[in-house]
Amino acid sequence: MARILVLGGSGFIGSNLIAALLDRSHVIFNFDRPGTSPKQFEKYSNYKFIPGSLSDSSHVRMVFDQQPYDKVIYLVSTLLPSSGYLEFIQERDINLVALFEVLRNMESNGCSDILFFSSGGTVYGLNGKSENKEEDPCLPFTYYGYTKWALEEYIRFLSRTTSVKYTIVRPSNPYGSGQNLFGKQGLIAVALGRVMANKPIEIWGDGQVIRDYLYIDDLVNAICLLLDIPACNQTFNVGSGLGASVNQIIEVVKEATGFPVQVQYSPARKIDVPVNILNIDKIKSTVSWEPKINLDEGIVKLWREMQSKSNL
C-alpha cells in the first residue's frame, strides 16, 4: 500500500487510474481543480480530494507540507495535439512552471518517486520511423508534443542533479469508459458519439493516417504494474504495438454499432504524422505486461456501455 498524490486525476485517464489504485488499497490524494472530484470515489475511505490550482506555488507547497507521499503521478495538461502557439504560451506559464514547483517540493519533502504521463502519440514526431522504440529520436511536430518532450527533459535533468527518480510513460491513443464522446480529441470515442447523435464523423485527410490505440483498462493495468516497482529513471511506451488507419476505425465502428455511419472528409493537417505505432517490448519484458483487449473488442465494449447509459 502506498500514499500516492495524483495531480490532475479527475479526467478520463486519471479517474480510471484512481479507481484501479483504490481497489488495490492505495491511499489516493487527488489534487485538481475545485468541483472536479469524481463522485464515485466519495465512498472510499482511502480517497481524499484536494481542490486547488497548480499555478499557485504556495498551494503546491502546502499540499506537500501537509502530509508525506510515497509517489507522485503527474497527469496535468491543458493542451491538445491540435493546439497552437497561443495555447502553448498559456501552457508554458501554467504547466511547465507547475511541474518545476512540484519537483522542487518533492525533493524538499522527501518524496523522490514521480510517474509522468508524456505522449507516445506526439513526442516522436517526424523522425522517419513508423514503429517507435523509447530510444528513437524525438522530433515533435506539434506544440503539444514539444511541451511533453520539454517536460520529460526537465525531469531527466532533475534526476541527474537531485534525489528525484522518475518513470516516464508514453501512452498511445487511449479510449474507453469515461471518455468525452463530444470532445476535440479521441477518435474512437468521438466517432461513437457522432454515430449516437446521428451526425457525420469528421476526418482530416483521406483516412489513411495510422495510429496505435489502447483500451483504457490495459493502460491502467500497465501503470499499476509500473507503480509496483521503484522508479528507475526509465521511459516506457504503453500501447497496443499495432497500427490501425482512421478508415479501419470507421469500419470497426460501423460493425460495432450497426448504425448508418456518415463520414465527412476535410483537407489534411500538417500536424498529422502519417504513421505512429509504439514498440512495447520494453514494458512487456520489465513488468510482464501486455494488452488484453483488442481493437474490435474495445470498441464494442465502449459502444455497449454507451447504449446502456442512453437506453438506445
pLDDT digits (tens, 9 = 90+) for 15-42: 999 999 999 999 999 999 899 999 999 8
**Three-state secondary structure of 207-220:** CCCEECEEEHHHHH
Query: Which CATH number characterizes residue 248's domain?
Result: 3.90.25.10
User: Do 179 and 229 belong together in one domain?
Assistant: no
Among residues 229, 198, 206, 177, the alpha carbon closest in space to that of 71 is found at: 229
User: Do 32 and 47 belong together in one domain?
Assistant: yes
Confidence category of residue 249, pLDDT binned at 50, 70, 90: very high
User: Do 24 and 170 belong together in one domain?
Assistant: yes
Query: What pLDDT was estimated at residue 79?
Result: 53
Residue 230's Cβ-count burial label (10 Å; 0-12, 13-18, 19+) is exposed
Q: How does 248-258 read in b/e, with b if 16+ C-beta sit within 10 Å?
A: ebbebbeebbe
Query: Which CATH number characterizes residue 71's domain?
Result: 3.40.50.720
140 phi, psi to nearest 5 deg:
-55, 145
Query: What pLDDT was estimated at residue 80?
Result: 60
User: Do 92 and 195 belong together in one domain?
Assistant: no
Question: Mean pLDDT over residues 163-184, rounded?
Answer: 93
pLDDT digits (tens, 9 = 90+) for 196-218: 999 999 999 999 999 999 999 99
Q: What is the DSSP letter of 268?
A: P
User: Do 28 and 157 belong together in one domain?
Assistant: yes
User: Do 41 and 97 belong together in one domain?
Assistant: yes
User: Do 292 and 231 belong together in one domain?
Assistant: no
Percent with pLDDT over 70 in the chain? 94
Question: Mean pLDDT over residues 50-57, rounded?
Answer: 88
User: Do 230 and 254 belong together in one domain?
Assistant: no
Confidence category of residue 53, pLDDT binned at 50, 70, 90: confident
Confidence category of residue 270, pLDDT binned at 50, 70, 90: confident
User: Do 111 and 161 belong together in one domain?
Assistant: yes
Question: Mean pLDDT over residues 170-189, rounded?
Answer: 91
pLDDT digits (tens, 9 = 90+) for 108-162: 899 999 999 999 989 999 898 989 999 999 999 888 888 899 999 999 998 998 8
169 phi, psi to nearest 5 deg:
-110, 125
Is residue 69 pLDDT above 60, yes or no?
Answer: yes
- Does residue 299 contact residue 186 with C-beta atoms inside 8 Å? no
Confidence category of residue 269, pLDDT binned at 50, 70, 90: confident
Question: Mean pLDDT over residues 223-251, rounded?
Answer: 96
DSSP letters along 129-153, please?
-SEE-TTS--B--SHHHHHHHHHHH
Question: Mean pLDDT over residues 87-94, rounded?
Answer: 67
User: Do 247 and 156 belong together in one domain?
Assistant: no
How many domains would you assign to the chain? Answer: 2
Is residue 89 pLDDT above 80, yes or no?
Answer: no
**What range defines the domain where residue 63 resides?**
3-174+214-238
Query: What pLDDT was estimated at residue 51?
Result: 94
Question: Mean pLDDT over residues 235-259, rounded?
Answer: 96
User: Do 255 and 223 belong together in one domain?
Assistant: no
CA dihedral 94, 143, 13, 100 (to 10 degrees): -40
Question: CA-CA distance, 39 to 1, in Å (whole number)?
Answer: 23
User: Do 126 and 189 belong together in one domain?
Assistant: no
Mean pLDDT over the full length of the chain: 91
The structure's pTM equals 0.94
Q: Which of 6-15, 179-188, 211-220 has the lowest mean pLDDT?
A: 179-188
